[in-house]
Structure 1
Amino acid sequence: MAHGVLWTVLGLLLWTELGTASLPLVMDSVIQALVELEQKAPVMEASRGASAQSLPTKDSNPHNPLHHFLLGAPSLKAVKLVPHSLSPQLQDLINRVTQHDVRGGQEYGVVLAPDGSTVAVKPLLAGLEAGLQGRRAVNLSLASQATPWDTGDTLPGLRDASPDVTSPNVRTVLPNDKAKPPTTVDSILAVTLAGDLGLTFLQSPQTQSHPGLGTEGCWDQVSVPQTFTLLNPKASMVTMAFLNGALDGALLGDHLSQIPEPRPPFSQLLSQYYGAGVSGDPEFRSNFRRQKGAALTSVSDLTQQVWGTLILLQRLEPGHPQLQNMTQEQLAQVASHATKEFTEAFLECPAIHPRCRWGAAPYKGRPTPLQLPLGFLYVHHTYVPASPCTTFARCAANMRSMQRFHQDTQGWDDIGYSFVVGSDGYVYEGRGWHRMGAHTRGRNSRGFGVAFVGNYTATLPTEAALRTVRDELPSCALRAGLLRPDYKVLGHRQLVHTDCPGDALFGLLRTWPHFTETES
């Protein structure tokens, strides 16, 4: 059933007519579509020819030979479905979300998830399909053959696989490394992340960073989203939404490859992952995809996978304009650079919801720009709201409440904090990196003010929230040149007559590496 539903989703691209009333572009709509497909699609044993109606033709997706090569083999069980039995809204939704594109400053094929993140659906579906086929080490020498599925070795789950199983040549690849190229690629990582990441950095391999990596965006409205506009109009295809979808696809694909049949319906799996957690595990959900992603594969493994996927693409498309005449050493350099940027700028950084995501009111007046880099991080707790926020809906409501208090009661131009940290796995942008805040009287121009949502007089924030402020946020600020290497951490009470950030939190704060008793 699972295989057939995926092929039907992709096959419907050939049948869909535009102009129908649109469902909101939220993950719940995708889950609703899967529920309807799972209910309406009868499963039947079929040969490849009999299942062809449910599959996209080669001409319908000519620009992605990697997916065709790795995922193109039909399932033994295929879905034969009359397209008109599906609702017009469902057909329109499928048409809109199963292709990913960035053009004209907007991103297409993305949906808003319950945790507030935006997710590209195409790499998510690719990861699910790769997981159903079993995690495979596909031999690169098979690129000239039509059916790698018959000879690729099924591997154990990514987390449990030894490097020798994943690739016989695993090692960290440096720009001038003379290591032999990898001989296999992992099917899950290749179709979700490695191929697109490698091609993106292939465009500008000599730059220190890629300006389009992980670009965020704003929905026209969060309640019933339809249009997603990127904050960086020059964004590459590897946006924040794409990375979210690719990681989700890799994580869920890995999970599917390890669990025995009968596997759960996709609608159930996605409901859990974008809800309370897969199989009741609160750490295995979209809120913590970066932490799970960091444990999924090592830097050296991922470098090999990006390198190997570029080699595979080069063999599948000898005339590829970006890959033509590229040497193995050049591909290794691209893979090393791409993996380093992805790891340091995405996996090791906290996920930050932009102002537009939580519904910020406009800034009043003219903001004062900060003179970066700054030398201090001032730690606060909100006190009110007193309870930690554990969901996007609650955290966003808390942000709006605090902004109203700061603007309407205190008379400030905006919410005072630079950033606010929830207990839902996310950081919420206040005044951000570039605007002077109103968080620490007399010192607002010298440092960033970061607040934990809640009252931490007697209790502590979650370990994930503490790690975000102690390690991840400053590390990323250092890398981006926003914070000085010798920055100092102080509690609000050290500078202003207040109990903030609470006795319990301040006691812990004093053990942090960059904590200082005085500003000097």
Structure 2
Amino acid sequence: MAQGVLWILLGLLLWSDPGTEKNKATQELGGGLEKNLDSRQESVATSLPLLMDSVIQALAELEQKVPAANASHTASAWLLSASNSGPHNRLYHFLLGVQSLDAAELDPYPLSPELQGLIKEVAQHDVREGREYGVVLAPDGSTVAVEPLLAGLEAGLQGRKVINLPLDSTATSREAGVTFPDVVAIAPDVKATSSPGLRDASPDVTTADIGANSPDATTGCPDVQASLPDAKAKTPPTMVDSLLAVTLAGNLGLTFLQGPQTQSHPDLGTEGCWDQLSAPRTFTLLDPKASLLTTAFLNGALDGVILGDYLSRTPEPRPSLSHLLSQYYGAGVARDPGFRSNFRRQNGAALTSASILAQQVWGTLVLLQRLEPVHSQLRCISQEQLAQVAANATKEFTEAFLGCPAIHPRCRWGAAPYQGRPTPLQLPLGFLYVHHTYVPAPPCTDFARCAANMRSMQRYHQDTQGWKDIGYSFVVGSDGYVYEGRGWHWVGAHTLGHNSLGFGVAIVGNYTAALPTEAALRTVRDTLPSCAVRAGLLRPDYALLGHRQLVRTDCPGDALFHLLRTWPHFTATVKPRPARSVSRRSRREPPPRTLPATDLQ
């Protein structure tokens, strides 16, 4: 039943309208899939907000209306798109078994018009003119691309197959009657639990680690190896995992495959803002030149990998997809609070190592070279070049995304505008100052509460303290997320006399007698500063200090401060700061102090 329902939705994913060519890399990943989302959206009469809850509602309605006995037949019809709409996604066809039928043969299920419109609107991911399409807002505050999520679910329901490489010859999709060469099913004994450690999960990947000697599609090409004379491949990929290929590996590889200059790094993990949070309809990216590997896409891909792996290991009868997604984007799968979307990066890191992912990226590119018609970006590309692309893509993904904390931008928690003109920081900075909020005292464990806490603190800092904005640079919740305050680039109001020298990071709660969650502690101790160092925002030799070391206060609480003293970058001795180096802004803003119903100590 679950697989049949998902195949219906995947049919919509591959349903395309003629239109102009956009985002060539992803278009050709989909076999030249031509999309005209503008005309489609104009024809879709939907008033449903772009929420994950709406997608779950559509799944639940399908599960009620699809007869179990007819699920297979109906799935094959809706899985396919109209034959006159152009070539379709090669990986989905080859690995998930998609075929093509005439549009007249497709028999839509009687979903409500609103739900039909919603599914058609979100089933295909795209980035155009600074906006992102095919994404929805999840209850945890994250934005999720639906397409890679659906692909991962389907791969998991099919049992997570692998294709052995190299293929004997150029292959075509199953619609031509070609059977899979060397297809086997895998069900690795892994579980999406807390990460064993991001440093362990994200080692450096080099071309020597993953090299190549399998056949390539370079016949009749000039000296394709000239651009990478030092690339020496030794360990070619031997198989492609269908789950990783249709979610992460293919898109990572093609996005980083930018012509002969395979060493370039496209922007990865760009965030954005919804037009409104209660009933979101439009998602605008913070960087109008963002690549297709946005935060929303990578969120959806990771969710697809995590849930697809879970489904591949779950015996029948499997839970309905609507029930599974409700748990995953809610309190946790099987009542496990660690197995939910809030912790997708940690759980994703636990499922695969960087070396394995690099092999999968490379193997998927090799597979795309073997599928007809050959992807244009992969013509005249040697295996050594593909190996380097895979190494670059995997290193950037594991270090800059998977190994970094998820940060909700200001617009996500409903921040009021900064009052006046912010003062820029002189980066990189040399200090990280740790705070607790004291009030709010209870830790926030879900997005709604954490966002409300952020708004409450900002109101107090602006309206009562008379500051320009919330004082902290960042605030860490117990929900798995970091919340942007003044951010990486603007002077804060968190540590009197030192605001221009370091970032002020607060953990929501009162930690006089108790400690924050391990996830929150790991964020402040490890992932947030390490990613800031990698990005050139924080010096590698930065010093970590508790607020009380610089200001007369009990902050960050006795229990937390005693723990800070054991952390690697903690500095016990603080040199007095010359008065002349105190910024005008720091002198202008009053010191944080303990007051009834305040947010700072």
- TM-score norm. by structure 2 comes to 0.80
Match of 1:136 among 157, 161, 166: 161
| 8 A Cα contact 1:318 1:324, kept in partner | no
The aligned residue for residue 185 of structure 2 is 154
Distance apart, 1:335 and its partner CA: 0.1
Counterparts of 1:54 and 1:318 in 2: how far apart (Å)? 21
Q: Does 1:102 align with 2:139?
A: no
Would the alpha carbon gap of residues 457 and 209 (structure 1) be closer, same or farther in structure 2, given more than 3 Å must change?
farther
Cα gap change, 1:33 to 1:269, in 2 (>3 Å): same
Which string of whole-angstrom CA distances, capped at 9 and with x for unpartnered residues, describes residues 206-250 of structure 1?
A: 587634211000000011100000001111111100000000000
Partner of 1:77: none
- Equivalent in the alignment of 1:120: 145
Q: How far did residue 281 of structure 1 move? A: 1.2
For 1:115 and 1:515, how far apart are their aligned partners in 2?
32
Other-structure match for 1:163: none
Check whether the contact 1:158–1:254 (CA below 8 A) recurs between aligned residues: no
Alpha-carbon distance between aligned partners in 2 of 1:211 and 1:512, rounded to the nearest angstrom: 34
Question: Does the C-alpha gap of structure 1 residues 500 and 46 become closer, same or farther in structure 2, counting only changes over 3 Å?
Answer: closer
2:568 corresponds to which of 474, 490, 513: 513
CA distance in 2, matches of 1:387, 1:483: 30
Alpha-carbon shift at residue 280 of structure 1 (Å): 1.1
| Structure 2 residue 297 is matched with structure 1 residue 297 | no
Residue 457 (1) aligns with residue 484 (2): no
User: How far 1:177 sits from its partner (Å)?
Assistant: 3.7
For the residues of structure 1 that align with 2:483 and 2:260, how far apart are their CA atoms? 32
Q: Which residue of 2 aligns with 1:4?
A: 4
Q: In structure 2, do the counterparts of structure 1 residues 366 and 185 end up closer, same or farther at CA, with 3 Å as the change threshold?
A: same
**TM-score between the two structures when normalised by the length of structure 1:** 0.93
Matched residue SS, 2:61:
helix
Among 247, 270, 275, the alignment partner of 1:192 is 247
Deviation for aligned residue 1:517: 1.4
Please, which of 58, 64, 86 is the counterpart of residue 33 of structure 1? Answer: 58
Q: Give the superposition deviation at 1:181.
A: 2.0
1:488 is matched with 543
Amino-acid identity (%) = 74
Is 1:310 the counterpart of 2:404? The answer is no
Query: CA 1:267–1:312 in 2, change beyond 3 Å: closer, same or farther?
Result: same
* Distance 1:232-1:148 versus aligned 2 partners, 3 A rule: farther
SS at match of 2:47: coil
Structure 1 range deviating more: 354-363 or 44-53: 44-53
Q: Distance in 1 between matches of 2:466 and 2:232?
A: 59
CA distance 1:317–1:105, change in 2 (3 Å): farther
Please give the secondary structure, in 2, of the residue aligned with 1:431.
Answer: coil
Q: State the alpha-carbon separation in 2 of the partners of residues 50 and 497 from structure 1.
A: 67
Maintained 8 Å contact 2:413/2:451: yes
Paired residue for 2:46? 21
Relative to structure 1, the CA distance from residue 38 to residue 376 in structure 2 (aligned partners, 3 Å threshold; closer, same or farther) is same
Q: Deviations over 1:442-468 (max 9, x none)?
A: 000000000000000000000000000
Residues in 2 aligned to 1:64 and 1:47: alpha-carbon distance in whole angstroms: 21
1:286 is the counterpart of 2:330: no
Q: For the Cα contact (< 8 Å) 2:10–2:151, is it kept in 1? A: no
Q: Which runs of 5+ in 2 are unaligned?
A: 17-39, 100-104, 192-206, 212-229, 576-601
How many aligned residue pairs are there? 507
Distance 1:461 1:56, change over 3 A: same
**Letter paired with 2:58:** A
Check 1:374–1:148 CA distance in 2 against 1; reply closer, same or farther (3 A cut): farther
1:91-132 Cα deviation digits (max 9, x unpaired): 110111100000010000000000000000000000000001
Residues 162 and 242, structure 2, Cα contact 8 Å, conserved in 1: yes
2:210 alignment partner, SS class: coil
The residue that corresponds to 1:504 in the other structure is 559
CA distance in 2, matches of 1:458, 1:19: 55
Q: How does 1:313-392 map to 2 (within 5 A)?
A: 313-317=368-372, 319-392=374-447
Unaligned runs of 5+ in 1: 75-79, 161-169
Q: What are the residue-to-residue correspondences of 1:125-274 with 2, within 5 Å?
A: 125-140=150-165, 141=167, 144-145=171-172, 146=174, 147=178, 151-157=182-188, 159=190, 172-173=209-210, 176-203=231-258, 206=261, 210-274=265-329
Counterpart AA for 1:106: R
Cα distance in 2 for partners of 1:298, 1:126 equals 21
Give the Cα separation in 1 of the matches to 2:380 and 2:83: 26
